[in-house]
Structure 1
Amino acid sequence: MSVQLRERAGELAAHLWREHTVYRERSGGVVIRGEHVRRWISLAPAGGRDEILVRAGRILEGGTTAPARSEVVVPLSMGTAALATACRRLLAEAAADATPRVPRPDKGAGRFRRRAGRPAKTGRSTRRRGRCPRRLRWLVPGCVAGVVVFQLHRLGLLAG
């Protein structure tokens, strides 16, 4: 099975990418790395006799691999072109998962829609620490002024 897997991986790698590296995993599977596209494909024996588990993922900065984003079980007897099509679909899913989802600058749609009057959530609080709310801004100076007026009145310096 591992010899068939290695041969199939070589054919598949030539179909997918011009630049690739094929190597064997510890578990007996085969990995195809496309460094220039920052993606990888793994072919491993599945539970069935003529089935393989195909997984796809990303290559992170520094060359480490991220966990598989998507996987599918396919028959080993599937043609190389059909297997390449399945792999391209998995690679597209892995690429779609990797792109950050940012709301559009217009009113937005779906789950990115904001409620009226609420600021957008940016991951940090919109209020700065150390600043009091607008309605409490004059509370402390007002209390200080009240204490001063009371003391002046008590000493008789204020006519009243």
Structure 2
Amino acid sequence: MPENNKNLYYLDDLSGYKVASNDSDVRGWEIIDADNRTVGKVDGLLANKETKRVIYLDIEVDKSLIEDGHEVYNKSANEGVHEFVNKEGENHLIIPIGLVRLDDENEKVLTDEINHDTFAKTKRFIKGAKLDRNYELTVYKNYFPEKGGNEDDLKDDKFYDRQEFNR
């Protein structure tokens, strides 16, 4: 992917970018879903250079989530059609920063809006893969099926102005 079309960068890969001194660095923290189940651990922070802020948490998913995800795709076609099947080794996913809250005392990241089943059905990727807007749109539509709306609205320059990307 050409550099000028890239939207997301790992914070570790950007010189001069770091977690603000008044914010917690959540890398390595467990992420807990709306059902109070472990989703995985925060492996990285994804930033957008234009907005100069972290947009997503990169989650290395828990094995239980991967196993739940396999069950989803073992159902017959008449029980629902799926656009993709996660492949072996795809054990990371992203969550918009505005969907989490921090439990600093216990070093946990909590989401009250997304449950284990939704995470299990979310398209994952292999660590280090370049993430493009198509992947972001797939994840966004999975987390917010009611907001799917017009694809063009999701592709514009104001994509990150949504409340889901603000903390």
Give the alignment's TM-score, normalised by structure 2.
Answer: 0.29
Larger Rg: 1
Higher helix share: 1
Highest relative contact order (Cα 8 Å, sep 6+), 1 or 2? 2
